[in-house]
């Protein structure tokens, strides 16, 4: 009888311990991957902030870099290398230029990880005309040999061109409404990127890059560009004093950057990183953009202004040189040894829905 009473108390205790162990095991195995933000979409809508609360900062970013044994590549040096450009920011993030990385080494590290890279590209209205070139050149130069999933957002799904894609690469079309204002199309991208991450990407992707469609690839864009939060230096301003950067200068705007502040001027046309970093960026820029709109403000360069404000407070962990978004109308500067991706020449009056 005594024995039976003891067992009847012990059984629930054992079951509870087992349950706790299962929960603990699940928690530990999940946290080794990129975490899913516990903050729902509505978290910051009423009170937009630049500073990301510590409880939503991704913790699962994997730094472990394993190479295959006996991999042959040229010996690295810490005293020889490029001397004409700066390859590290003051907060010690790499600035990627041709000649600062070894593509063979990087590919061998990241191919083993079997990562998946999502790409977003918007082709609304007449901008659909740029998509074929974008997709075809991406096949030749963008993460060749990796799993790449391109998400095309368009109001003209029937006009999406058929482009042969290599094994491991795929394309999904998402319909979006047309718009009468190009500013709105450009700015709404943040909201749609945020939704895509929430609805789809957390299931199947590790990294995301968000790119302008009126552009094409000319040379390798690969694993050297991977990082937590990745920004691209705008080709038009990197030789200028920061007083000349076209930041939003109205102090009432959520995109405001004061004179004497700001590191670099970054492109709105290319940015990326791990999903949760880009999610935080998109969520913050979108809610700050909406807050401005409520107050009748549109920042000087729409979401690019909000992105620049965000990156001033939340420093990118990898910065890509202007090789990663040049402009075809600009002659190449001597420090730009290769152009990997560039904006094509276009006549805005012909292609935008408004002037």
Phi first, then psi, for residue 326 (nearest 5°) are -90, 180
Total number of residues binding ligand UD2 (CB under 6 A)? 22
Q: Which is nearer to ligand UD2, 127 or 143 (CB)?
A: 127
From the list 47-55, 162-170, 295-303, 331-339, the region that binds ligand UD2 by CB under 6 A is: 295-303
Decide: is 272 part of the binding site for ligand UD2 (CB under 6 A): no
Residue 323 in the binding site for ligand UD2 (CB under 6 A): no
Closest CB 267 distance from ligand UD2, rounded Å? 3
Candidates 302, 308, 314, 321; binder of ligand UD2 (CB under 6 A) is: 302
**Whether residue 198 lies in the annotated active site:** no
Determine if 58 is a binding residue for ligand UD2 (CB under 6 A): no
C-beta closer to ligand UD2: residue 269 or 273 = 269
| Among 37, 186, 283, 308, interactor with ligand UD2 by CB under 6 A | 186
Using the rule CB under 6 A, which residue among 301, 310, 324, 326 binds ligand UD2? 301
Which one from 191, 291, 304, 323 is the annotated catalytic residue? Answer: 304
Work out how close the CB of 21 gets to ligand UD2 at its nearest, in angstroms, rounded to a whole number. 49
120 makes contact with ligand UD2 (CB under 6 A): no
3-state secondary structure the chain: CHHHHHHHHHHHHHHHHHHHHHHHHHHHHHHCCCCCCCCCHHHHCCCCCCCCCHHHCCCCCCCCCCCCCCCCCCCCCCCCCCCCCCCECCCCCEEECCCCCCHHHHHHHHHHCCCEEEEEEEECHHHHHHHHHHHHHHHHHECCCCEEEEEEEECCHHHCCCCCCCCCEEEEEEECCCCCCHHHHHHHHHHHHHHHHHHHHHHHCCEEEEECCCEEECCCECHHHCCCEEEEECCCCCCCCHHHCCCECCCCCCCECCCCCCCCCEEEEEEEEEHHHHHHHHHHHHHHHHHHHHCCCCCCCHHHHHHHHHHHHCCCCEEECHHHCEECCCCCCCCCCCCCEEECCCCHHHHCCCC
- Compute φ and ψ for 318, nearest 5 degrees: -145, 135
Among 98, 212, 248, 291, binds ligand UD2 (CB under 6 A): 212
| Nearest residue (CB) to ligand UD2, 110 versus 341 | 341
269 near ligand UD2 (CB under 6 A): yes
Judged by CB under 6 A, the residue of 213, 230, 275, 339 near ligand UD2 is: 213
Contact 98, 337 (CB under 8 A): yes
Shortest distance (Å) from residue 32 CB to ligand UD2: 34
Q: Does residue number 236 form part of the binding site for ligand UD2 (CB under 6 A)?
A: no
Contact criterion met (CB below 8 Å) for 274 and 317: no
Please report how close the Cβ of residue 240 comes to ligand UD2 at its closest, in angstroms: 15
Residue nearest ligand UD2 by beta-carbon distance = 268
> Which listed residue (105, 117, 123, 223) binds ligand UD2 by CB under 6 A?
123
**Residue 122 in contact with ligand UD2, rule: CB under 6 A:** yes
User: Would you name the residues annotated as active-site residues?
Assistant: 304
Q: Which residues bind ligand UD2 (CB under 6 A)?
A: 122-125, 127, 182, 185-186, 212-214, 267-269, 301-304, 325, 343, 352-353
């Amino acid at each position: 009888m005594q024995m039976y009473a003891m067992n009847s108390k012990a059984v629930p205790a054992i079951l509870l311990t087992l349950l706790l162990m299962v929960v603990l095991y699940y928690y530990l195995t999940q946290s080794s991957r990129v975490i899913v933000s516990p903050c729902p979409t509505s978290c910051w809508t009423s009170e937009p902030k630049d500073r990301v609360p510590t409880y939503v900062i991704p913790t699962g970013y994997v730094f472990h870099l394993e190479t295959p044994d006996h991999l042959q590549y040229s010996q690295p040096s810490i005293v020889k290398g490029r001397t004409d450009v700066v390859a590290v920011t003051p907060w010690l993030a790499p600035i990627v230029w041709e000649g600062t990385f070894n593509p063979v080494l990087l590919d061998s590290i990241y191919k083993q990880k079997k990562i998946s890279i999502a790409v977003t590209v918007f082709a609304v209205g007449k901008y659909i005309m740029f998509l074929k070139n974008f997709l075809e050149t991406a096949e030749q130069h963008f993460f060749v040999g990796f799993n790449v999933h391109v998400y095309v957002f368009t109001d003209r799904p029937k006009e999406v061109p058929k482009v042969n894609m290599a094994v491991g690469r795929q394309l999904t079309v998402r319909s979006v409404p047309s718009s009468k204002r190009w500013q709105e199309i450009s700015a709404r991208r943040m909201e749609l990127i945020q939704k895509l991450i929430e609805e789809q990407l957390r299931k199947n992707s590790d990294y995301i890059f968000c790119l302008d469609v009126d552009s094409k690839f000319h040379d390798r864009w690969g694993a050297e560009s991977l990082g937590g939060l990745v920004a691209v230096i705008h080709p038009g301003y990197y030789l200028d004093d920061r007083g000349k950067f076209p930041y939003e200068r109205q102090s009432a705007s959520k995109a405001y950057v004061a004179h004497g502040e700001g590191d670099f001027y970054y492109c709105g046309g290319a940015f990326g990183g791990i999903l949760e970093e880009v999610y935080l960026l998109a969520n913050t820029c979108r809610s700050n953009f909406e807050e401005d709109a409520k107050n009748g403000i549109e920042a000087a360069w729409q979401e690019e202004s909000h992105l620049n404000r965000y990156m001033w407070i939340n420093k990118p962990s990898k910065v890509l040189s202007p090789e990663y978004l040049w402009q075809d109308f600009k002659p190449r500067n001597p420090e730009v040894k290769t152009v990997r991706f560039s904006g094509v020449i276009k006549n805005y009056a012909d292609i935008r829905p408004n002037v």
